[in-house]
Every structure is written in C-alpha cells, then in structure tokens.
Amino acid sequence: MDEVRRQMTEFWKEHSKDATVEKMMLDSRASLLTEQELPEILSLLPCLNGYDVLELGAGIGRYTSQLLTRAKHVTAVDFMESFLEKNKEANGHHSNAEFIQADVTKLEFPPNSFDLVFSNWLMMYMSNEELNSFIKKMLVWLRPGGFVFFRESCNHRSGDCKVDFNPTYYRTDAQYSYLVSSVESEVTETGHKYGFDIVVKKNIKAYVEMKNNPNQICWLLEKVPRSLKTQGFSTFQQFLDNQQYTSHGILRYEKMFGAGYVSTGGPSTTKEFVDMLNLKPGQEVLDVGCGIGGGDFYMAKTFGVKVLGLDLSENMVNIAIKRAMTEKLPSVQFEVADATKRMFSEGSFDVIYSRDTILHIPDKPALFKHFHSWLKPGGQLLISDYCCGEKTWTQEFKDYVQQRGYILYTHSQYGKFLEEAGFCNVRAEDRSAQFIQVIEAELQRAEDNKDEFIKEFSEEDYLAIVNGWREKLGRSKSGDQRWGLFYATKA
C-alpha cells in the first residue's frame, strides 16, 4: 500500500506542474466538460444556505468558487500543493474559505463538523480498506441529516490524456453503492447508529452526450439513523433489491406483465392511462417508480416527450439503462433515487406519472406536496396504485402488507390527500374490477405459456409467480386489496 501511495504521489507531482484543468482532469476537453457538467452537478445538491462544506480533492477550484458563493463556509482539501495554490489564487479572497493540503485518508475533524462533504474522483484512489475507513469517518464528521456528494469513474478511467501511470481502484457503480450503504457508525449517545441512504445516483449527462461515456456516476447520500431495520436490511433500498426486486425476480415479473413492464396490465393499461394525458412533443415528464422503463419508452416514442424515470431499486434502473441503450432514446433518462428525498425546482415538469409505486411510501401527503411544487401551472398528475378496502383487514392481508412493506389507504383517502396537497380537478377512481380482469388475463396467459415460462426460468419460478397471482386475485375478489387510478391538475 505504501508503494502504491508513493507511485501515486509521483504521478500527480508530474501531472500537477502546470495546474491546468486539462492536467487535473486528464482530459483534453476538460474545459468544455466542466462548462456542461458543473450546472448539472450543482443542481443535485441540497440548498447550501448556512452549510459548512468540506470539499475533498478540491483541485484548482472548479467547484470551490461555486460552493463558496452558496455555503456559509468551505474547507477545501487537496493532496497536491500546486493545485491547492492555484485554488487559493482564485478563491483565497473569500472570507468563508479555508485551504488544507493533506492526504484525505489521514484527515481528522471533530464529530458533527460539516453539513456536506463534496468530492470528485477521490474514492477510486483508495483501497477497499481505506475506503471503508473513510466512509466511517465521513459519517462521524457529518451532522445528522447531512449529505455526501461524490462522483467516480466506474469500471475504467474517464480521461483521454496519455499517461504512463494512473493507479486507481476501479469499481462498478454497484460496488460503490454497496460500500456506502453498508457502513454504519458506532452507537451514539442517543442510542442510534447512523448510516447513509442514497438520495440519488445517476450518470453524468454531460459525459454521456459529449463522450458516449455512461460510466461517470455520481451519488448524493444522506446521513440517517439506523435504529430501525427493514427485515434485517440496513436500508429500504437493500430490502427491495434483495427481496421483491432481485434482478431475477424483475425478469419474472416482466414475463407476466409484458416486455418492458413491471406494473399492472403492462402495455395495455399504460396506453390507456398515458393517452388520457394528451401529451405534446417536448413536454417534460417525471416517472416516479419507472421500473424497467417500458412506459417511458412508449411516451417518448409515441409523443416525443422527454422523460426522467426514478426508481429506488438499483436492479430496476440497471435493467432500464441497458434497455435504453437498445432503444437509442436520449430523451429518456433514468436515476436511482428516493422520491421522498430527491428535490427538483418548482415548475420543473409538465406531467408526473407513477404506476403502482407510492404504496411503498409512508408519508404520501408530503410527497404529493412535492409533486404539486414540481409541476408547472396546468401540469397533470396521473397515478395508479394499490389501495385497501373499507372493511377491517384480515390477518392474512395484514401479514401480506407487512411482508411487502406497503402502506395502503382507501382510494377515497388517497384522493383527499391530493386535494389537501393543493391539486384541483382530482379524480379518485376505484379500478378494482379492471384490476381483477387484468390479473385473470395475465394468469391465463402464463398458464397457456407454461412450457415457455419454465424453459426460460424454471418450474419453481413458474409455480412461485402463478401462485402469487392467484393469491393476489383472491385478495382482490375478497375486497381486501383494491386498485385506484388518480388524476389531478395544478391550477
């Protein structure tokens, strides 16, 4: 490890002599890339008003100057003296700036010192042991509710400059996600452990468009208590990706719902519901719980709209991104994101669309208020979702809802939440009869294609999925499980 660090130091001493953005980024198009990516990355950050920010790997100050104008105080750290001196020249006149030359793996700060830790291309220079220790340090340095933003080159180096030596620990984006979400702090005085929840994870659009490079990935994480676990998993995202939405499980669902879909009715209900919106070319659509992207591709190809799909399941988004490469639709983008924490500017979208997703979210009224803010005046909201009946729940239904982690309401309660959030023209329809018809049709199709299903998956998979559909049909016919369709507009 010491030898690797020595080689790394020598490498950057050589490449930091000129202290230019091209040398720092190891890319001949660095200036243009910075111009494109800087507003994109800054738009992902929380409001920094009153924040104490720690910027790691600050370099010559590409982001330092932007952070200084937004935050209460910025501590800029870099390993290379020449980079840091260039940063001081540009930003040293700010009274809220501090500059430290240091190896970040050896940094020490008091607990609860910062509200945001910001870094670019830093963790790929750490071994797994160093990175694990470093993530734990960031947990300690951050105040509860604080954030970490980091961006890395996943799988391979991003630059195009010829270099003799560039020692990095290249990881996949999934490996980074696992590492940051698995680390927990020691028990605090309040009896809590803390960890990181992923607020958003996405590829840098500037690199996709300018260099056809989808491997520049960024994360925004939030420090949250870990006192309550979801069936043994540290985060709800881990629960989803390891239980209901394993990659294998998603493909089984797709076999039932139709190619590209993991929501009730697949292409048929998607066409019916989307056609209600009268979409126009160039409109901006947010799909909350996008699954593997079938509905998004349909909207983009049929109506010429731009779609941003969010899903908390990393497995879902990984499949959606692969499908998007095949579809060749740059107007469709995907993010791993928590819709309850992801923030957008007011009036960002013409339409917000969600299919059988909000059943996972406890505080629906708060989410609907965000939706109302994110929509442009006259914007439309369309949601389908699992609901419950008016009658007392059976124990079997209680067990099912608990096992899935659902939070269900009646369709009339759902509609009231939308009205209280400020929406007008609210329609809350009980579509349970249609739900039953769709389930029966999907079940019949699976039984008719049993041999094909077993050949593609297994007999065990076939029985698991068919029995699951039969149970869903029973819950629906008994009145326990209902299905609602909700439409509303912003005045």
Q: In terms of domains, do 357 and 394 share one?
A: yes
Q: What are phi and psi of 34, to 5 degrees?
A: -60, -45
Q: Which tens digit of pLDDT belongs to each residue from 390-438?
A: 999 999 999 999 989 899 999 999 999 999 999 999 999 999 999 999 9
pLDDT-derived band at 165, boundaries 50, 70, 90: very low
Report the pLDDT value the prediction gives residue 11, as an integer from 0 to 100. Answer: 66
For position 46, which CATH number holds?
A: 3.40.50.150
Task: Count structural domains, the chain.
Answer: 2
Q: In terms of domains, do 25 and 134 share one?
A: yes
Q: In terms of domains, do 145 and 57 share one?
A: yes
Q: In terms of domains, do 298 and 180 share one?
A: no
Q: Which residues of 351-387 are buried (b: 16+ CB within 10 A; e: fewer)?
A: bbbbbbbbbbbeebeebbbbbbbbbeeebbbbbbbbb
Q: In terms of domains, do 218 and 247 share one?
A: no
Tokens 């080689």 belong to 7
Residue 26 in tokens: 């190891």
- DSSP-assigned letters across all residues of 103-136: -GGG----TT-EEEEEEES-GGGS-HHHHHHHHH
Q: Which tens digit of pLDDT belongs to each residue from 185-220?
A: 877 766 778 999 999 999 999 888 888 888 899 999
3-state secondary structure labels for all residues of 52-99: EEEEECCCCCCCHHHHHHHCCEEEEEECCHHHHHHHHHHHCCCCCEEE
pLDDT-derived band at 451, boundaries 50, 70, 90: very high
Domain final residue pick, 211, 228, 245: 228
Lowest mean pLDDT among 29-38, 118-127, 137-146: 29-38
Cβ(100)–Cβ(76) under 8 Å? yes
Q: In terms of domains, do 213 and 250 share one?
A: no
Q: Are strands 481-489 and 424-430 parallel, antiparallel or unpaired?
A: antiparallel
Q: In terms of domains, do 254 and 144 share one?
A: no
- DSSP-assigned letters across all residues of 274-292: HHTT---TT-EEEEET-TT
Residue 286 in tokens: 């947010």
CA distances from 54 to 81, 125, 144, 181, 460 (A): 18, 18, 15, 20, 51
What residues make up the domain containing 266? 237-489
Kindly tell me the burial class for residue 209, based on how many C-beta atoms sit within 10 Å of its own C-beta (0-12, 13-18, 19 or more).
Answer: exposed
Q: In terms of domains, do 204 and 308 share one?
A: no
Residue 15 has pLDDT above 70, yes or no: no
Report the pLDDT value the prediction gives residue 23, as an integer from 0 to 100. Answer: 61
Cβ(177)–Cβ(148) under 8 Å? no
* The CA-based dihedral angle spanning residues 63, 66, 69, 72, taken in that order and rounded to the nearest 10 degrees: -40
What pTM did the predictor assign?
0.90
Q: In terms of domains, do 302 and 418 share one?
A: yes
Q: Which tens digit of pLDDT belongs to each residue from 431-440?
A: 999 999 999 9
Q: In terms of domains, do 207 and 243 share one?
A: no
Residue 52 has pLDDT above 60, yes or no: yes
Report the pLDDT value the prediction gives residue 409, as an integer from 0 to 100. Answer: 97
Domain final residue pick, 228, 248, 283: 228
Q: What is the mean pLDDT of residues 108-135?
A: 92
Q: In terms of domains, do 159 and 77 share one?
A: yes
Residues 6 or more apart whose CB falls under 8 angstroms from that of 297 comprise 260, 323, 324, 327, 329, 332
Cβ(226)–Cβ(195) under 8 Å? yes
Q: In terms of domains, do 78 and 183 share one?
A: yes
